[in-house]
């Protein structure tokens, strides 16, 4: 509740430059999603992603009782989806990772004033509308602060609000919590100004998620989590508290253009599953897995392995910023064994790619692979095609793109590879996640 009352302090102004929106409830923002990084992830990256993830989960526990368990898997692999954002006056274009697993929106900032090279950095000194929050501002309470944060001096004019935001793999962004004007192309082609976007101006960003090769091409993160500072929560007030996206299917050539839609109504029938709340992790979108099937045969996995325990561990989150899918250990082993039993292809001689199960498909034109499906809370069936969980890890080698997590310290993640080719709609007011194989073409 404290979050909500604080978030109302973020005064949000919104208006159209060119035309008035007829009905805000039916209005939406349409932002094209791009995919910069090569697909599939290089085996070495997938491997390091796995080890990063493991250490990340340990780290997460330590943070558990802090006010903001600001953990995200902003990058557990190389495949990221990017959104373009125009920040400042005049607008500066930046590419941000669309991340449903974190809240803070931040950009790489530079204090450069003159003769600045303009690639991938926001220059606050080139913007007339940039303003850092004062540390005494109530908005400053919405972000985690660095440990060495000095006591806020009410009277000191230049005590800016410093933030430090950590991701689950240990990556950190540090800088000034600020606000700015941001500009979008609206669904009707008009320019939309959003005058008061709160974001992190990141001067000191380190770690693989925010500076390594998997961040390649990105200039920051657009936090789409459910917490009060997320981009979605800030704009949601104007757009009916829901957003949707379809992540492009890269096996289709040429890949269809897809969009991140904030607001807007679905145009086709969706299957729904409830969004669950974990009070200890207010950022994440949790869903519930009831049963797992392979080739329509129900696996013997106790439903209790998917639950969230009293310490807030476990559960399953939907994260657009994580590439691979992570499943809790007892379930993972059973699924792995079932695939091992059902796939009749020769094993790849190289099993060292960071995956537990790889097949040699060099002699197969169209290898037949078993179908994995999840029955979710509410009864709907999520049955993605095999290309969402088998990846071409090398020439003629297909690997099961699942990883395991320890149930006591981690949580399961439905990553973006598993989501591709589907439209997902996150509806905060109705507390549900909708999904459909349709809607991935132009909305
Ligand atoms: C706050 O800042 C003012 C002006 O710079 C200074 O005089 C005062 O000593 C500072 N107070 C504290 C508690 O640091
Ligand atoms: C809006 O769209 C036009 C044409 O599609 C493009 O040139 C322009 O950069 C876009 N502006 C913003 C702020 O996205
Ligand atoms: C960036 O943060 C690190 C701590 O991880 C610190 O050692 C370093 O001095 C900081 N750099 C700047 C320029 O503030
Ligand atoms: C796949 O099988 C072929 C023979 O059919 C073999 O030459 C090749 O080395 C195998 N590749 C791997 C990665 O196992």
Q: What percent of the chain has pLDDT over 70?
A: 77
418 pLDDT band, cuts 50/70/90, is very high
DSSP secondary structure code for residue 18 in this structure: S
Annotated catalytic residues are 99, 319
Instruction: Say what the pLDDT of residue 250 is.
Output: 61
Three-state secondary structure call for residue 276: strand
Pocket test for ligand 4, best of 362, 367, 392 (most atoms within 8 A of CB): 362
Read off the pLDDT of residues 178-191 as tens digits, 9 standing for 90 and up: 999 998 766 566 77
Q: What percent of the chain has pLDDT over 90?
A: 48
Beta-ladder partners of 175? 163, 202
Dist. CA 65 → ligand 1 center (Å): 32
Read off the pLDDT of residues 330-368 as tens digits, 9 standing for 90 and up: 999 999 999 999 999 999 987 656 889 999 999 988 899
pLDDT for residue 378 is more than 50: yes
Average pLDDT, the chain: 79
- Residues near ligand 4 with C-beta < 6 Å? 348-350, 360, 362-363, 396-397
Instruction: Say what the pLDDT of residue 402 is.
Output: 94
Sign of the alpha-carbon dihedral angle for 281, 132, 208, 78: positive
Measured by CA distance, the residue closest to atom 6 of ligand 2 is 185
Q: Which CATH class is domain 271-436?
A: mainly beta
**Any idea what the Cα angle at residue 389 is, between residues 384 and 393, rounded to 5°?**
150
Residue with tokens 């132009």: 442
- Residue 360, number of CB atoms within 10 A of its CB: 17
Instruction: Say what the pLDDT of residue 253 is.
Output: 65
Instruction: Say what the pLDDT of residue 25 is.
Output: 44
Whether omega for the bond prior to residue 40 falls within 30 degrees of 0, making it cis, is yes
Measured by CA distance, the residue closest to atom 6 of ligand 3 is 204
pLDDT for residue 49 is more than 60: no
Pocket test for ligand 4, best of 349, 361, 393 (most atoms within 8 A of CB): 349
Residue range 273-289: mean pLDDT, rounded: 94
Superfamily of domain 22-262: Acid Proteases (2.40.70.10)
Pocket test for ligand 4, best of 43, 345, 360, 364 (most atoms within 8 A of CB): 360
Ligand nearest to the CA of 349: 4
69 pLDDT band, cuts 50/70/90, is very low
The atom of ligand 2 lying closest to the CA of 93 is: 13
Strands 271-274 and 358-360: unpaired
Residue extent(s) of CATH 2.40.70.10 domains in the chain: 22-262, 271-436
Structure tokens at 163: 């933030």
CA 401 to chain centre: 18
Instruction: Say what the pLDDT of residue 330 is.
Output: 93
Instruction: Say what the pLDDT of residue 151 is.
Output: 73
Highest mean pLDDT among 6-10, 115-119, 297-301: 297-301
Measured by CA distance, the residue closest to atom 10 of ligand 2 is 185
The verdict on the CB of residue 303 being under 6 Å from ligand 3 is no
The better pLDDT of the pair 290, 20 is held by 290
Measured by CA distance, the residue closest to atom 7 of ligand 2 is 185
Query: What whole-number distance in Å separates Cα of residue 27 and Cα of residue 43?
Result: 42
User: 145 with 189: CB under 8 angstroms?
Assistant: no
Q: In what order do the strands lie in the sheet with 325-328?
A: 286-287, 316-318, 412-414, 325-328, 402-405
pLDDT for residue 265 is more than 90: no
Query: What whole-number distance in Å separates Cα of residue 122 and Cα of residue 93?
Result: 8
32 pLDDT band, cuts 50/70/90, is confident
């Amino acid at each position: 509740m404290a979050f909500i009352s604080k978030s109302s302090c973020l005064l949000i102004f919104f208006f159209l430059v060119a035309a008035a929106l007829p009905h805000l409830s039916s209005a939406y923002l349409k932002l094209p999603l791009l995919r910069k990084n090569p697909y599939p992830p290089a085996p070495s990256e997938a491997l390091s992603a796995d080890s990063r993830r493991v250490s990340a989960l340990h780290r997460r526990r330590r943070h558990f009782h802090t006010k903001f368990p600001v953990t995200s898997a902003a990058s557990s692999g190389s495949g990221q989806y990017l959104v373009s954002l125009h920040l400042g006056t005049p607008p500066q274009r930046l590419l941000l990772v669309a991340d449903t697993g974190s809240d803070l929106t931040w950009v790489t900032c530079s204090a450069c004033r003159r003769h600045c090279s303009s690639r991938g950095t926001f220059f606050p000194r080139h913007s007339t509308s940039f303003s850092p929050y004062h540390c005494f501002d109530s908005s400053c309470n919405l972000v985690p602060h660095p440990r060495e944060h000095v006591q806020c001096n009410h009277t000191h004019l230049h005590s800016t609000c410093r933030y430090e935001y950590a991701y689950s793999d240990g990556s950190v962004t540090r800088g000034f919590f600020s606000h700015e004007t941001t500009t979008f192309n609206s669904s009707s082609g008009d320019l939309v100004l959003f005058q008061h976007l709160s974001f992190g101006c990141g001067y000191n960003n380190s770690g693989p998620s925010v500076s390594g090769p998997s961040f390649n091409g990105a200039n920051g993160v657009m936090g789409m989590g459910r917490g009060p500072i997320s981009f979605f929560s800030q704009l949601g007030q104007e757009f009916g508290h829901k957003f949707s996206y379809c992540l492009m299917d890269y096996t289709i050539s040429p890949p269809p253009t897809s969009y991140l839609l904030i607001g807007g109504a679905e145009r086709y029938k969706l299957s729904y599953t409830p969004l669950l709340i974990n009070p200890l992790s207010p950022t994440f979108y949790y869903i519930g897995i009831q049963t797992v099937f392979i080739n329509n045969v129900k696996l013997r996995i106790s439903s209790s392995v998917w639950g969230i325990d009293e310490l807030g561990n476990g559960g399953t989150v939907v994260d657009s910023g994580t590439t691979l899918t992570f499943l809790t250990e007892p379930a993972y082993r059973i699924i792995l064994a079932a695939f091992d039993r059902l796939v009749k292809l020769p094993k790849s001689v190289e099993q060292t790619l960071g995956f537990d199960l790889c097949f040699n498909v060099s002699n197969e034109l169209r290898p037949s692979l078993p179908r994995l499906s999840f029955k979710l809370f509410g009864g709907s069936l999520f049955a993605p095609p095999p290309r969402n969980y088998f990846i071409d890890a090398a020439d003629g080698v297909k690997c099961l793109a699942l990883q395991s997590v320890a149930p006591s310290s981690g949580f399961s993640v439905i990553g973006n590879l598993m989501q591709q080719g589907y439209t997902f709609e996150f509806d905060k007011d109705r507390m549900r996640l909708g999904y459909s194989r349709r809607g991935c073409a132009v909305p």
